[in-house]
């Protein structure tokens, strides 16, 4: 994690809200806090080497792996969104998506797949998927790729801004690569959820999966829908399931038509706290 990423994660929102004098104070202490945190930052792990002494992980279920690598997609995890120096090794409830995912992943786990996760953060879920899908390539995109702490010949980490159509098109849509599973776990804002699904759905292989995590954020968190826009992605997907028409300024007609002609099923599930959409392609 570099200084800019440290600022964006832990101080940007505080500085934006602070008055003039508090802003000055926060800007002064920022590099000091960064230096203090450096010894506590997660170290890089080469999973190909790590696997030599951890071969049992290739036989574990998804929930075990999510908890082992501290992904919030499992049932329990240690909070990874506080400054590393303040981290406490106390497990708290996580999203609890593992059993839902395993229902869809089980029949695919031994295949040679390309799996994309957007919003990889430290890469804890990517490390879990590395072991669960032992024959697959894992692609991990994030707006702060320097946070990613895992290395492997089967993992590719890269920068992407899922709030930008230009970034999505340049890095994913216009590249000659398709994915068998896409997990969208990035910003969760109303616009970003919509444009990500409808722009990259064409990059999913036949019978592939698109997963949108925290689907309900735009209706449960004000910061995910600042302008109180309508419809959000959940409402759009429910309209499609119920064969009702919909429109959104964030969806081009050609992308809308492609989705309607090529999706196989849409299911919305509730984890421990939030909802997740799992969309199968024809």
Query: Above 90 in pLDDT, residue 81?
Result: no
How far is the C-alpha of 152 from the C-alpha of 141, rounded, in Å? Answer: 15
> In the predicted model, is pLDDT for residue 264 greater than 90?
yes
DSSP 162-222: TT-HHHHIIIIITSS--EEEEEE-S---HHHHHHHHHHHGGGEEEEEEEEETTTTHHHH-G
Question: Percent of the chain beyond pLDDT 90?
Answer: 95
Structure confidence at residue 88 (pLDDT)? 87
* pLDDT for res 34: 96
Would the pLDDT of 87 be above 90?
no
Residue 113 contacts residue 181 (beta carbons within 8 Å):
yes
Which CATH number describes the domain made up of 43-281? 3.40.50.150
Q: Please, how many CA atoms are within 13 Å of residue 230, restricted to the half-sphere of its CB?
A: 1
In contact, 232 and 218? CB cutoff 8 Å: yes
Residue-wise pLDDT tens digits, 56-79: 999 999 999 999 999 999 999 999
Domain ranges for the chain, please list them.
Answer: 3-39, 43-281
- Comparing 11-15, 118-122, 169-173, 174-178, the range with the smallest average pLDDT is 11-15
Query: Does the pLDDT at position 137 exceed 90?
Result: yes
Q: Is the pLDDT reported for residue 278 higher than 90? A: yes
Reply yes or no on whether the pLDDT at 98 is more than 90.
yes
80: pLDDT strictly greater than 90: no
131: closest CA among 214, 42, 68, 37? Answer: 68
Please give the mean pLDDT across all residues of the chain. 96
pLDDT in tens, 139-196: 999 999 999 999 999 999 999 999 999 999 999 999 999 999 999 999 999 999 999 9
**By CB neighbour count within 10 A (0-12 exposed, 13-18 middle, 19+ buried), where does 145 fall?**
middle
Q: How confident is the model at residue 201 (pLDDT cuts 50, 70, 90)?
A: very high
Instruction: Report residue 228 as tokens.
Output: 């109180």
What does residue 185 show for φ and ψ, rounded to 5 degrees? -135, 40
**3-state SS, residue 139:** strand
Mean pLDDT along residues 24-37:
95
Contacts 24+ apart (CB under 8 A), 221-225: 221/188, 223/189, 224/187, 224/188, 224/189, 224/190, 225/189, 225/190
Q: HSE (CB half, 13 Å, CA atoms) of 59?
A: 3
């Amino acid at each position: 994690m570099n200084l800019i990423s440290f600022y964006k994660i832990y101080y940007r929102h505080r500085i934006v809200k602070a008055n003039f004098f508090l802003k000055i104070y926060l800007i002064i202490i920022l590099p000091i806090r960064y230096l203090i945190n450096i010894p506590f930052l997660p170290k890089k792990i080469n999973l190909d080497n790590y696997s030599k002494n951890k071969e049992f992980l290739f036989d574990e279920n998804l929930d075990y792996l999510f908890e082992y690598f501290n992904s919030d997609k499992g049932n329990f995890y240690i909070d990874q969104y506080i400054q590393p120096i303040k981290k406490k090794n106390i497990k708290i409830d996580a999203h609890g998506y593992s059993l839902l995912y395993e229902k869809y992943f089980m029949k695919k786990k031994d295949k040679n797949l390309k799996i994309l996760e957007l919003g990889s953060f430290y890469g804890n879920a990517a490390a879990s998927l590395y072991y669960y899908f032992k024959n697959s390539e894992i692609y991990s995109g994030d707006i702060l790729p320097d946070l990613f702490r895992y290395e492997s010949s089967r993992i590719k980490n890269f920068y992407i801004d899922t709030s930008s159509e230009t970034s999505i098109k340049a890095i994913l849509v216009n590249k000659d690569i398709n994915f068998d599973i896409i997990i969208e776990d990035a910003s969760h804002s109303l616009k970003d959820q919509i444009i990500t699904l409808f722009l990259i759905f064409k990059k999913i292989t036949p019978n592939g999966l698109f997963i949108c995590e925290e689907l309900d954020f735009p209706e449960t968190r004000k910061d995910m829908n600042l302008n109180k826009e309508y419809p959000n992605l959940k409402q759009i997907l429910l309209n499609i399931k119920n064969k009702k028409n919909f429109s959104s300024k964030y969806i081009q007609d050609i992308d809308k038509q492609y989705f309607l002609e090529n999706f196989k099923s849409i299911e919305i599930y509730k984890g421990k706290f939030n909802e997740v959409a799992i969309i199968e392609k024809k």
